[in-house]
Amino acid sequence: MLRLLFAFLFVFAVRAASDPFIAKPYLQLGDAPKAAKQETLTLVWHAADSDANWSAEVRKPGGKWAAQPAPTFRRVAVKDIDAHRVYASVLSKLKPGAEFQYRVMKDGEEVFSAKGTARKSAKQPYRFAVFGDCGAGTKAQGVIAERLHESKPDFVFTTGDIVYSNGRISEYRQKFFPAYNSEKTPLTRSTLLIAAPGNHDLSRRDLNLFPDSLAYFYYWNQPLNGPLTVNGTPNSPVLIGPPGENQAAFLEAAKGAYPQMANFSFDYGNAHWTVLDSNRYSDWTDAKLQQWLITDLKSARRAAWRFVAFHHPGLHSSKAHALDQWMRVLSPIFEQNGVDIVFGGHVHNYQRSKPLRFAPSGGVAKNGVVEGEVTLDKNFDGKTNTKAEGVVYIVTGAGGAGLYDPGQEHDPASWKPFTEVFKSNQHSVTIADMEGKRVSIRQVSEDGTVLDSFTITK
């Protein structure tokens, strides 16, 4: 018996020692904001900082393997973390919406394989999921990851606070990759995950305190079409504290992504998504930022749907973070440019607004408050009347971190008049089915209960 156990442990140890990955491959959108006849996705994996002959191959199910362009890598060498490489291989010539298989080779030997689905074209129906405030290392986070995986979305979007509490490499390793790319929940190896950065992702900018924070800029590989391009630009996550080795190490490792990837936009299927950095250092009353947003939304005129996503919700009813609603200053721009839904997180529960218009009476006060007037569409019910007059604001921040204000769920008197649904007793995810000019959305809880469902048509 003892021999058997030793034999098992030996095999296990050898396998663990030969695992070539620090983080197993996961799918990213890459710098590909627009749909194409021949789609791409970017496969990312982390490995030791030593030379090896890495390559990736793609095929249609059952077809012939096609070699992909040689992977590139960014070298991350920051204090307290072993230097490692973040490889990126652009998987090319994918057929829109079609399933494909891929494999990763190291020194000529296959070390990983999985399947994925290319971005859907504007004519194909699809499903996406949205969740936020997730990487807390809780049991609920794991359950929500399973709900996400079993709902089989074509892609998943997270509204930020990806890892708690400081957006560090060490936290990604403890609370992100094990939850979303494990043998049990192999979500991100096969399903595209796109992220907006939250406060816990980009606020820890003193690299002398947290040398391995701001990992968002190393580990995500997303479009680089944002408005902020240079280190130190106002309205970007400017580094705090005296320059030194830690800042230099960050700037070297994050080259090309920082600070540009803080904001971006992309198309998926028949929708255009605009992703904003809502952290307090971003002054969204700034004319340049607003102009970028307006230009971006106007450029998406041909999209059937326009979604905007950012971490701090512009309109919500929670007692928690009641003052953190400065993003409502952008509501008129959303309304004038045909935005349908705004997704947020930050507040750890689920809330849905009535379709609404908001007219600010001024700018953002020091405490974050934006005063103004709300006009509600009270006829929309999401069932029989599905034409929304105005923008629907969804808070979906119940992805794993501790829930906020559970007492408010059954206390509608505590909700603002614009709030239609408020679910704060269970963790949950948002699942949307898109078909032409119809979107059907449901909010699914930890135990699979549908907490809310509604449809918007146009």
Question: Least distance in Å: CB of 404 to Fe ion?
Answer: 10
Of the residues 346, 348, 354, 427, which one makes contact with Fe ion according to CB under 5 A: 346
Q: Which of 199, 220, 215 is CA-nearest to residue 346?
A: 199
Residue 167 found at the interface with Fe ion (CB under 5 A): no
Of 135 and 259, the one with the shorter C-beta distance to Fe ion is: 135
Q: Which is nearer to Fe ion, 52 or 320 (CB)?
A: 320
Nearer to Fe ion by C-beta: 39 or 161?
161
Q: With CB under 5 A as the contact rule, which of the stretches 12-20, 197-205, 299-307, 384-392 interacts with Fe ion?
A: 197-205
Nearer CB in complex with Fe ion: 161/212: 161
Q: Is 189 in the site for Fe ion (CB under 5 A)?
A: no
Q: 306 near 342, Cβ under 8 Å?
A: no
Q: Is 192 left (phi over 0), alpha (psi -120 to 50) or beta?
A: beta
Closest CB to Fe ion among residues 121, 318:
318
Shortest Cβ distance from residue 345 to Fe ion (Å)?
6
Looking up tokens 């509204």 gives 159
Shortest spacing between CB 203 and Fe ion, in angstroms: 9
- Residues near Fe ion (CB under 5 A), total: 4
Q: Is the peptide bond before 165 cis (omega within 30 degrees of 0)?
A: yes
What is the smallest separation between the CB atom of 69 and Fe ion, expressed in angstroms? 37
Binding range to Fe ion, per CB under 5 A, among 12-20, 76-84, 190-198, 398-406:
190-198
d(CA 12, CA 7): 9
**Which one, 24 or 346, has the nearer CB to Fe ion?**
346
Contact set for Fe ion, span 137-166 (CB under 5 A): 161
199 binds Fe ion (CB under 5 A): yes
Which of these segments, 143-151, 220-228, 302-310, 341-349, binds Fe ion (CB under 5 A)? 341-349
CB of 321 to Fe ion, least distance (A): 8
Q: Report if residue 277 touches Fe ion, rule: CB under 5 A.
A: no
Length of the chain equals 458
19, 176, 231, 360, 393 from 322: Cα distances, Å: 46, 28, 31, 17, 15
Q: Pick between residue 144 and residue 439 the one whose CB is nearest to Fe ion.
A: 144
Closest CA to 157 of 275, 23, 324, 318: 275
What is the distance between the alpha carbons of residues 81 and 76, in angstroms, rounded to a whole number?
A: 9
Does 198 contact Fe ion by CB under 5 A? yes
User: Which span sits near Fe ion by CB under 5 A: 4-12, 195-203, 284-292, 370-378?
Assistant: 195-203
Query: Are the CB atoms for 157 and 151 separated by under 8 Å?
Result: no
Task: Please identify, using beta-carbon distances, which residue of 199 and 426 lies nearer to Fe ion.
Answer: 199
Residue whose beta carbon is closest to Fe ion: 346
Q: Using CA of residue 401, residue 404, residue 407, residue 412, what is the dihedral sign?
A: negative
> Which of 128, 258, 118, 121 lies closest to 197, judged by CA?
258
**321 in Cβ contact with 287 (< 8 Å):** no
Residue by residue, DSSP assigns 128-184 as EEEE-S-BS--HHHHHHHHHHHHT--SEEEE-S--BTTT--HHHHHHHTHHHHBSSS
Q: Is 201 in the site for Fe ion (CB under 5 A)?
A: no
| Binding site residues, Fe ion, CB under 5 A | 161, 198-199, 346
